[in-house]
Chains A and B, each alone.
Chain A
Amino acid sequence: MINENQKLNTKLFSQAPDMAPIRDGFGDALVELGKENERVVALTADLKESTRVDEFAKQFPERFFEVGVAEQNMVTIAAGLAVSGKIPFVTSYAVFSPGRNWEQIRTTVCYNNVNVNIAGHHAGLMTGPDGATHQALEDIAMMRVLPHMTVFVPCDSIEAKKATKAMIHISGGGYIRLARDPSPLITTEETPFIPGKADVLWESKKPKVTIIACGTMVAQSLFAAEELEKEGIGSIVINMHTIKPIDSKTIISYAKKTKCVVTAEEHQIAGGLGSAVAEVLAMNYPVPQEFVGVRDSFGESGKPNELFEKYGLGIKDIKEAVKKVVTRV
Chain B
Amino acid sequence: MELLSEKKIKHLYTVADRIRELVIESLLHAGSGHSAGPLGMADIFSSLYFHILTHDPKKPLWDGRDHLILSNGHICPVQYVSLALAGYFPITELLTLRKIDSRLQGHPHRGSLPGVETTSGPLGSGLSQSIGLALGLSLDKKKNRIYCLMSDGEHQEGNTWEAVMFAGKKKLSNLTTIIDRNNIQIDGFTEDVMPLESLRKKYEAFGWNVIDVNGHNIEEFIYAVLEAQSVFEKPTVIIAHTIPGKGVQFMEKNYTWHGKVPNKKEAEEAIHEIRSLGNKISHE
Using a CB–CB cutoff of 8 Å, the interface residues on chain A facing chain B are 41, 62-63, 65, 67-68, 70, 72-73, 76-86, 88, 103-104, 107-108, 111-114
Contact = CB atoms under 8 A, between A and B. Distances in A.
B137 interface: yes
A107 B139 CA distance: 25
A82 B132 contact: yes
B159 A104 contact: yes
Contacts of B158: 72
A114 to B, nearest CB: 8
B162 interface: yes
Nearest to B170: A65
A82 B124 CA distance: 18
With a 10 A CB-CB cut-off, give which of B124, B129, B134 has the most chain A CB atoms.
Answer: B129
A76 B129 contact: yes
Contact of A80 (B109, B111, B118, B122): B118
Given A81-B136, A107-B122, A68 B165 contact: yes
B133 A84 contact: yes
Interface in B82-119: 109-111, 117-119
Contact of B135 (A68, A70, A77, A112): A77
A88 B129 CA distance: 13
Contacts, number: 98
B135 A79 contact: no
B166 A80 contact: no
A73 B129 contact: no
Given A67-B166, A68-B165, A73-B128, A81 B133 contact: yes
Contact of B159 (A72, A83, A84): A72
Contacts of A72: 124, 128, 158-159, 162
Interface residue tally of chain B, by bracket? Answer: 20 to 34
B57 interface: no
A113 B119 CA distance: 9
B125 interface: yes
A73 B159 CA distance: 6
B137 A70 contact: no
Nearest to A63: B139
Contact of A79 (B118, B134, B162, B166): B118
A68 to B, nearest CB: 7
B122 A83 contact: no
9 contacts: A72-B158, A76-B159, A76-B163, A77-B166, A83-B117, A83-B132, A84-B136, A108-B119, A111-B109
A16 B77 CA distance: 65
Contacts of B110: 83, 112-114
B118 A112 contact: yes
Contacts of A111: 109, 119
Contacts of A108: 118-120, 125, 128-129
A41 B162 CA distance: 20
Contacts of A84: 132-133, 135-137, 140
Nearest to B146: A80
Given A108-B118, A113-B111, A80 B139 contact: no
B111 A79 contact: no
Given A65-B135, A85-B136, A80 B119 contact: no
Contacts of B135: 65, 77, 80-81, 84
A73 B163 contact: yes
A83 B118 contact: yes
Given A80-B132, A84-B140, A111-B119, 7 more contacts: A72-B128, A80-B128, A80-B130, A82-B132, A83-B110, A83-B118, A113-B110
B131 interface: yes
Contacts of B162: 67-68, 70, 72-73
Contacts of B111: 113
Contacts of B166: 67-68, 70, 73, 77
B259 interface: no
A127 B131 CA distance: 33
A79 B139 contact: no
Nearest to A110: B119
B228 to A, nearest CB: 19
A68 B119 CA distance: 24
A63 B124 CA distance: 25
Contacts of B163: 73, 76-77
Contacts of A73: 128, 131, 159, 162-163, 166
Interface string B36-49: 00000000000000
A80 B159 contact: no
Nearest to A75: B128
B139 A86 contact: yes
A112 B112 CA distance: 10
Given A76-B159, A104-B125, A62 B139 contact: yes
B53 to A, nearest CB: 17
Nearest to B135: A81
A77 B122 contact: no
With a 10 A CB-CB cut-off, give which of B124, B132, B135 has the most chain A CB atoms.
Answer: B132
Nearest to A113: B111
A81 B158 CA distance: 21
Contact of B129 (A41, A77, A86): A77
A70 B135 CA distance: 17
A70 B162 CA distance: 6
Nearest to A73: B162
The 6 closest A-B pairs by CB, nearest first: A80-B132, A84-B136, A76-B128, A73-B162, A80-B129, A70-B162
